[in-house]
Amino acid sequence: MTSLKVLKSYLTQVWENQNLTAIDVYFDKQSATTGITSDFEAQIQDFHALVPAFLHFQRNLKVEIIHAMEQGNQAWALVAVKSCRASDMHPIETTGQIRIETQNGKIIRMDNHVDMIGFFEKIDALPPNTVALCLSGEILS
């Protein structure tokens, strides 16, 4: 399986199908424990907690790949995560970029940059225009 196919499959299985046991299928835990990538084991553990926490706020989640690239064992995608807010089923969209490195069809490194502030604004955990507020010196607590 190419790196990009691994990435697409991971997004479908873990995020769309909410198959949390698949996290361990896609990630190479052996690389993590042998220290090929720093903090990777912690990252996998975080995923087990973070994925359900995020899914708790959303329903009918779909991940759309807007652009993608791959080179060797590296794949990247620009994604739009479309879902309904669990509280009132209002449609929300969150974008992000994900880069993975794979080895033998498993993910050995992942870099996630998702618009977390935008997501938290949409579920009312952060106020609208948080970036502008913080840039202007507001302290949120």
Q: How far is the CB of 71 from another protein (least distance, A)?
A: 5
| 139 lines the binding site for another protein (CB under 8 A) | yes
Contacts 24+ apart (CB under 8 A), 49-52: 51/14, 51/15, 51/18, 51/20, 51/23, 52/18, 52/20
| Interacting span for another protein (CB under 8 A) from 5-13, 21-29, 34-42, 75-83 | 75-83
Member of 50, 59, 62, 89 binding another protein (CB under 8 A): 50
Enumerate residues 82-111 that contact another protein by CB under 8 A.
Answer: 95-97, 99, 111
Contacts 24+ apart (CB under 8 A), 64-70: 65/8, 65/11, 66/95, 68/4, 68/7, 69/4, 70/2, 70/3, 70/4
Q: Under the rule (CB under 8 A), what is the footprint of another protein?
A: 50, 53-54, 56-57, 66-67, 69-71, 74, 76, 78, 80, 95-97, 99, 111, 113-117, 120, 123-127, 131, 133-141
